[in-house]
Amino acid sequence: MLTEPPETIETDQIELSCDGGEGALGHPRVFLHMDENGQVECPYCGRLFILRQKEN
């Protein structure tokens, strides 16, 4: 059974970081790099980052 990520965030960045977004209640900052499909999931909190599609 597939589950939805806790949060999906669109971004223009190929390299980014995630700290859980909860201040002191978050997780250690990790640096992430988009895969060939334009997405990456945080290994700590499961947030899914997707590359925003450019409009023509």
Going from the N-terminus, what domains does the chain have, and what CATH number goes with each?
Answer: 8-51 (2.60.260.40)
Predicted confidence at residue 36, as pLDDT, reads: 95
Predicted confidence at residue 25, as pLDDT, reads: 78
End-to-end Cα, the chain, rounded Å: 36
Amino acid at 14: I
Structure tokens at 27: 């997780």
pLDDT by position in tens, the chain (length 56): 666 768 999 999 999 999 998 777 789 999 999 999 999 999 999 999 999 987 76
CA torsion sign for 19, 6, 52, 50 is: positive
Structure tokens at 53: 């599609």
Bridge partners (DSSP) of residue 10 are 50
d(CA 22, CA 39): 22
Predicted confidence at residue 37, as pLDDT, reads: 94
pTM, full prediction: 0.82
d(CA 13, CA 6): 20
